[in-house]
Structure 1
Amino acid sequence: MIKLGIIGTNWITQQFIDATELNTDFKLTSVYSRTMDKAKAFAEHNHAAETFDDLDRFFNDGSFDVVYIASPNSLHFKYAKLAIAADKHIIVEKPAFTNQKQMAEIEALLKQKPNVLFFEAARQIHTANFKAIEKQVAKMPVIQGAEFTYEKYSSRYDKVLDGEVPNIFSLKFAGGALQDLGVYTVYDAVTLFGMPDEVSYFPQIISTEVDGKGTAILQYPEYNVVLNFGKTSNSYMQSEIYGLRDTIEIDDAGEIGDVVYVNGEGERTTIGNVDEVNPMYPEVKDFERVINNSDDPQNKLDYDRWFQLSMNVNKVLFNLRQDANLVFPDDEE
């Protein structure tokens, strides 16, 4: 059994816990929230034994092996450092950290604690549908670019229109479209095509001074990849990867529900349409596999690849913000 502690009691935490209950070794034991009422309510709903509203007590006294961090973005770094110091494995929601300095410090701390494992919860790259895309891309002799779109209206934007500043749209908490839905599209591009040579970002800044939506261009030696993402409107545009005459069609760059390969003659073949019971289940099973047997050669290779992807995505996100002059308070510390 892998004993699990959580930081954050929002909907995404509940989805993660629901995924762990689908034939996995994870067992929720410990819940931290800033208020004991929220911690107790979440723990009671999910049958957890321990509740905390004090971080030091949570990490020192909590009977858990791995912590799942789903706090506002700007707090991920602080909580990850506490977890490493307490010898707890880490699963942190994307984006892991807000800048390269934070990522480098976490990397250095992890080298001092080689038994502590770190995972960024980039759920889509663990799914069967994404792996079908990877397999097809590897078969295509020519790649001429791609466009990835993930744009969904956030109900919390209603609060912005009413003059409020929710965490997800706050500079203080490292919010905005790029740091939320944009992360999925960056993961798509970096996982499939590697690191770009140059990046540009054209954000649409909203009243809270973060990006409500935007378009990013990743320049590779022989092609460009265009990323469209946003939280202030809905898009129903599919995503595509371009070969010479052939194309991969993806219904949604974040959810990835249906993947179709269209050959040079226009013949269409569905190569990915696995409907996961819970979209976080594939990543949970991958993390479980590595935690339970971290010495296995294949698990080591997977872990190292995921960690390198996390560092690469962190760099691309930071460079995109720099290009658009989007600065968070953590960047200035």
Structure 2
Amino acid sequence: MIKLGIIGTNWITQQFIDAAHATGEYKLTAVYSRTVEKAKDFGKPNGATIFSDNLDEFFANDALDAVYIASPNSLHFEQAMLGIKNDKAVIVEKPIVANIKQMEILRETLEQHPQSRLFEAARQIHQPNFKIIKNQISKLGRIQGATLTYMKYSSRYDAVLAGQEPNVFTLKFAGGALQDLGVYVAYDAVGWFGMPDDVAYYPTLAPTRVDGKGVAILRYPEFDITLNIGKTSNSYLPSEIYGLKDTIVMSNPADLETVSYHDAEGHETLISEKPADNPMISEAADFARVINDPQNEKNDRDYWKWLDLSQNVAKLLYNLRQSGKIVFPDDKK
């Protein structure tokens, strides 16, 4: 049983705990928060018995095998470093880092701590429908590009309109649409098509100077991919991958709830599986598989494949931000 600690006491943390418990491979033991009282309020109902407001003591505790980090984006790097240096398995909610240099440092630190493991909680790449789409892409006679749209109004944008600056909409905490919803479509693009040759990002800035929404163009040798992302409005458009006369259509490029294939004659075939009620179960199971048996050849191969993909996505997001002239404080360190 993997002894799990968590950083962050929001809804996404609860969803991961529920997914972890559903696999039967984890037991929540410890919670870190800025106050012990808050850690107890969140952790006790979930079975935790250790509560801390001291990060160094938290990561040094032998009662932890793995730590799930769901703090503000700008804190991921420092906390992941502490986990690696304490030889823990570290699961970091997306985006794993604020810039590509931080990812390079994490990988260098991993080399010095071979017992540790580092995972980005990019849930959809572990889901069956992500792999179904990749398989269907390989059957397209000719790829002519894709349009991936993920725009979902953030309740925190109400605070922005009221003159406030919540964490997810600040440069200080590495916020914005690209760092949040954009991670999903970036994973789709890189996971299905590889790294583009060139990129451009056209952001629409929120009053807090982060990108509230934006359009990214990824250029490949024979096609382009368009990414439409936003946290300041809702879109109900499906996302599509274009063959010559055939098309793959998905309801949402992050949740991948339904996926259909339209052949050259226009006939539609549903190719997706019904997803789990909790979309984080697949990733929690995959992480447990690697943590429990890291020397297994398949597990080791999968782990490095996921880590390489995380690094490429971090590089893509950084390059897009540079194109859009969006600079975080951590970029200057």
Unpaired runs of 5+ residues, structure 2, are none
**Contact persistence 1:20–1:284 (CA under 8 A):** yes
What is the distance in 2 between the residues matched to 1:136 and 1:45?
43
Alpha-carbon distance in structure 2 between the residues aligned to 1:275 and 1:106: 32
**Secondary structure of the equivalent of 1:64?**
coil
Within 5 Å, give how 1:215-234 maps onto structure 2. 215-234=215-234
Which one-letter code corresponds to 1:164 in the other structure?
Answer: Q
Question: 2:125: which partner in 1?
Answer: 125
For 2:244, give the aligned amino acid. L
1:289 aligns with 2:289: yes
1:3 equivalent in alignment to 2:3: yes
Q: CA deviation at 1:24?
A: 2.4
Shift of 1:273: 3.6
**What letter is aligned with 2:254?**
G
Q: Within 5 Å, give how 1:29-108 maps onto structure 2.
A: 29-61=29-61, 63-108=63-108
Give the equivalent residue in structure 2 for 1:302: 302
* Contact 2:260–2:270 under 8 Å retained in 1: yes
Q: Distance in 2 between matches of 1:176 and 1:275?
A: 28
Percentage of matched positions with identical amino acids: 57
Task: Map 1:119-198 to 2 at 5 A.
Answer: 119-198=119-198
Q: Deviation at 1:23?
A: 3.0
Residue 203 of structure 2 is aligned to residue 203 of structure 1: yes
Amino acid corresponding to residue 83 of structure 1 in structure 2: G
1:45 CA displacement: 1.6
Partner amino acid for 1:277?
D
Aligned with 2:107: secondary structure?
helix
Cα distance in structure 1, aligned partners of 2:23 and 2:318: 37
State which drifts further: 225-234 or 271-280: 271-280
Deviations 1:112-134 (A, max 9, x none): 11111110000011111111101
Report the secondary structure of 2:138's partner residue. Answer: helix
- Hey, what does 2:311 align to over in structure 1? 311
Q: CA deviation at 1:135?
A: 1.0
Contact 1:24 1:288 (C-alpha < 8 Å) held by counterparts = no
Q: CA deviation at 1:275?
A: 2.5
For 2:46, give the aligned amino acid. N
Deviation at 1:141, TM superposition (A): 2.4
SS in 1 for 2:30: strand
Q: CA deviation at 1:84?
A: 1.0
Deviations along 1:177-203, one digit per CA (max 9) or x if unpaired, are: 000000000000000000000000000
Q: Which residue does 1:272 correspond to in 2?
A: 272
Following superposition, the deviation at residue 62 of structure 1 comes to 5.3
1:12 corresponds to which residue?
12
**Which amino acid in 2 is paired with 1:272?**
S
- Residues in 2 aligned to 1:25 and 1:11: alpha-carbon distance in whole angstroms: 21
Q: Measure, in 2, the Cα distance between the counterparts of 1:93 and 1:76.
A: 8
SS state at 1:87 partner? coil
User: 3-state DSSP class of the match of 2:27?
Assistant: strand
Kept in 1: contact 2:23–2:281 (CA 8 A): no
1:329 is aligned to 2:329: yes
- 1:59-103 CA distances to partner (integer Å, 9 max, x unpaired)? 123511011000000000000111111111100011100111101
Aligned pairs for 1:254-269 within 5 A:
254-269=254-269
* Aligned counterparts of 1:30 and 1:90: Cα–Cα separation in 2: 14
Q: What is the distance in 1 between the residues matched to 2:194 and 2:138?
A: 13
Contact 2:190 2:313 in 1 (8 A): yes
Q: Which is worse superposed, 37-46 or 168-177?
A: 37-46
Whole-angstrom CA distance in 1 between matches of 2:33 and 2:287: 24
CA distance in 2, matches of 1:101, 1:288: 28
Does the 8 Å CA contact 1:5/1:62 hold for their aligned counterparts? no
Contact 2:32 2:58 in 1 (8 A): yes
Instruction: Give the Cα–Cα distance (whole angstroms) in 2 for the partners of residues 299 and 329 of structure 1.
Output: 36
Indicate if the aligned counterparts of 1:159 and 1:165 stay in contact, CA closer than 8 A. yes
SS of structure 2 residue aligned to 1:139? coil
Report the residue type matching 2:68 in the other structure: Y
**TM-score, structure 2 normalization:** 0.99
Q: Secondary structure of the equivalent of 2:23?
A: coil
Instruction: After the TM superposition, list the runs of 4 or more consecutive aligned residues in structure 1 that deviate by more than 3 angstroms.
Output: none
Tell me if structure 2 keeps the 8 A contact 1:128–1:274. no
Q: Which amino acid aligns with 1:244?
A: L
The SS at the match of 2:183 is helix
Q: What SS does structure 1 have at the residue aligned with 2:271?
A: strand
Structure 2 Cα separation of the partners of residues 66 and 23 of structure 1: 15
